[in-house]
Structure formats: C-alpha cells, structure tokens
C-alpha cells in the first residue's frame, strides 16, 4: 500500500457544517486523500474513477470511518439521559 498524501482544498469556505443546537453554520474543511485507482481495481469500466473496487485505499478506510461514526452515535445515544420533570 502506498503512503497516503492528504491534500486540502484551497478554499476553506467550500463546505459548511450546521449545528442544530445553536442553529449556526461553521466552516468545515474536508481532507482529500490521493489514491491510486489504476493499480487497485478489479477490472472493466473507468478504472481511474472506480473507487468502489479500490479496497485497500478507499473501501477499508471508508468502512472504518463509517464504523467509528456509528459506534460514536450509539455511545452518545446510550448515554443520553431522559429529561427530569
């Protein structure tokens, strides 16, 4: 596996996150990770644009991000207290 080079967008205001509790928008910087789809594909189609067959550099890291997100949401949900009256 090649070492991943993290690239950052030149325009920091391209994405925004919304805080529903404060009802405010915040700048959200997204890191772009360079991958090699040409050497990590199963075959067919437009290999350079086929992220879904790139298991080592795209699928496994994406699965890890989603798993961590779901686990953190489950923990947050389990620790929420019912409001007292």
Residue 13 per-residue DSSP state: G
- pLDDT tens-digit profile of 3-22? 555 455 455 567 788 888 99
pTM of the model: 0.58
The confidence band for 1, taking pLDDT boundaries of 50, 70 and 90, is very low
50: CB partners within 8 A, 6+ apart: 37, 41
At residue 3, what are phi and psi to the nearest 5 degrees? -70, 135
Say if residue 34's pLDDT is above 70.
Answer: yes
CA distance 38 to 2: 13
- pLDDT tens-digit profile of 47-70? 888 888 999 999 999 999 899 989
61 or 27: which leads in pLDDT: 61
As to burial, measured by CB atoms within 10 angstroms (0-12 exposed, 13-18 middle, 19+ buried), residue 48 is exposed
């Amino acid at each position: 596996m090649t070492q991943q080079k993290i690239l950052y967008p030149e325009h920091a205001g391209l994405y925004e996150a919304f805080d529903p509790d404060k009802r405010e928008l915040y700048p959200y910087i997204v890191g772009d990770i360079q991958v090699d789809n040409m050497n990590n594909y199963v075959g067919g189609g437009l290999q350079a644009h086929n992220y879904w067959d790139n298991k080592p550099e795209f699928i496994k890291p994406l699965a890890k991000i989603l798993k961590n997100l779901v686990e953190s949401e489950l923990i947050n949900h389990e620790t929420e207290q019912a409001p007292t009256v």
